Structures are given as structure tokens and as C-alpha cells.
Amino acid sequence: MVIYYDTPGDAAVATLKDWASRFKGQWSGVVATRFAGLGNELVLTAWTRSLRLNSFDAAQAAAFVDAFRGRGPENPVR
């Protein structure tokens, strides 16, 4: 799972980095990376699924992470 962000604010970036540090399994990892041009938007991706948020919403983002983390076709772990 990859979370793309640009400038959603310091608190949002801290939360995203915390999430990425919690899930480091080979097949269940979360990567949060800066992507210039998104501004306050975030884009969460998991294979064919994506969630675009106009601004950081921890509840929506956490629900997406929970629903799709570790469910890729290469070696589903959940």
C-alpha cells in the first residue's frame, strides 16, 4: 500500500509516518511518500483500489488502510 501526500500539514505527515512505521511486513507494508503537486490532497493506493482525499481525514484513511493492507495478489497475508 502506498500513501501519496504533498503538504497536508505537519500533524497529518506525522500520522502517516507513524502508520508506515507500524506496518513493515514483507507483504503487508505501508509506504508514505511525498508526491509534489497534490497540495493538501492525499491519495491512498492498494493495487486496483484508491482513495483520494481532498484533505487529511484520519478516520477515512485508517479505514482504507485496514481494509486493503496486506491484500495484494502477490501473497495475501490477510
Q: Residue 37 corresponds to which cell in the numbers above?
A: 503537486
The answer to whether 48 and 41 have CB atoms below 8 angstroms apart is: no
- Span 4-59, pLDDT tens digits: 999 999 999 999 999 889 887 777 788 999 999 999 999 999 988 999 999 999 99
5 close to 32: Cβ distance less than 8 angstroms = yes
Look at residue 78 in the predicted model and tell me its pLDDT: 59
What's the CA gap between 40 and 38, in Å, rounded? 6
All three cell numbers of 14: 506525522
